[in-house]
Amino acid sequence: MTITITAFERSPDGGKGLARDTRVRWALEEVGQPYEVRLLSYRAMKEPAHLALQPFGQIPTYEEGDLVLFETGAIVLHIAERYVGLLPRNANARARAITWMFAAVNTVEPPILDLGSARLQETSMPWYEDRLSLVEDRVRKRLRQLSLRLGGTEWLDGAFSAGDLMMASVLLRARVSDLLDEFPNLAAYLTRAEARPAYKRAFAAQLAINAPEGSAN
């Protein structure tokens, strides 16, 4: 059955892989499933046809036969459950990997997104500098906790899993702010994740669409 995802016609990040279709592409590459991509303009994302698939007018979505999904956590979990390669067989290990997926989107991603919004939208506010340092501290707190848990291990819980895929995807956005470099084991964890052939293929596929004219190769 054909899998179709949606992505930005032109991502605001110019191909850095921060748009969330990258994590879905990555999951599909990890499990070896081919997929098609429907590119959407910002305007098309807000029109009824797309809102019927994604009620918040966002990308990505995932279509497979009659099944339509949104929310990257749910999409990656679906891929990981349907195909082999992203979740352990052992029931407890599987539950722990899923726990890390939730931790990524529910506990680690929110302060990182808040920092991104502050830097993008609040710089002209008189309280910007004060708020920025508060927001940065919230990110640092989460990164420190994650760093302590990861310690010197390769992945969060045994072999690479959908939990690592989601966590690394979230950490990519923290690297933009330089805060990640304060935690060398997390920076190395992210570098390891990016070195995976499946990630490289996913990254290259989104870059081919989003790179500024003439810079993709």
Ligand X SMILES: N[C@@H](CCC(=O)N[C@@H](CS)C(=O)NCC(=O)O)C(=O)O
* Window 178 to 207, contacts with ligand X (CB under 6 A): none
State how far the alpha carbon of 213 is from the alpha carbons of 15, 112, 160, 201, in Å. 11, 29, 35, 20
Count residues near ligand X (CB under 6 A).
7
The angle at the Cα of 131, spanning 130 to 135, to the nearest 5 degrees, equals 125
Burial of 41 (0-12, 13-18, 19+ CB in 10 A): exposed
Main-chain dihedrals φ then ψ at residue 31, nearest 5 degrees: -95, 5
For residue 39, give the 3-state DSSP assignment. strand
| Residue 55 beta carbon to ligand X: minimum distance, rounded to whole angstroms | 11
Q: Interface mask (CB under 6 A) for ligand X, residues 81-120, using x and -?
A: ----------------------------------------
Residue 72 makes contact with ligand X by CB under 6 A: yes
Whether the upstream peptide bond of residue 60 has omega within 30° of 0, thus cis, is yes
Nearer to ligand X, 44 or 187 (CB): 44
| Residue 93 beta carbon to ligand X: minimum distance, rounded to whole angstroms | 24
* Window 5 to 64, contacts with ligand X (CB under 6 A): 19-20, 57-59
Nearer to ligand X, 97 or 166 (CB): 166
Helix (H) or strand (E) holding 197: helix 197-210
| Residue 57 beta carbon to ligand X: minimum distance, rounded to whole angstroms | 6
Residue 169 makes contact with ligand X by CB under 6 A: no
Nearer to ligand X, 43 or 82 (CB): 43
Give 148's contacts (C-beta < 8 A, 6+ positions apart). none
Binding site for ligand X (CB under 6 A): 19-20, 57-59, 71-72
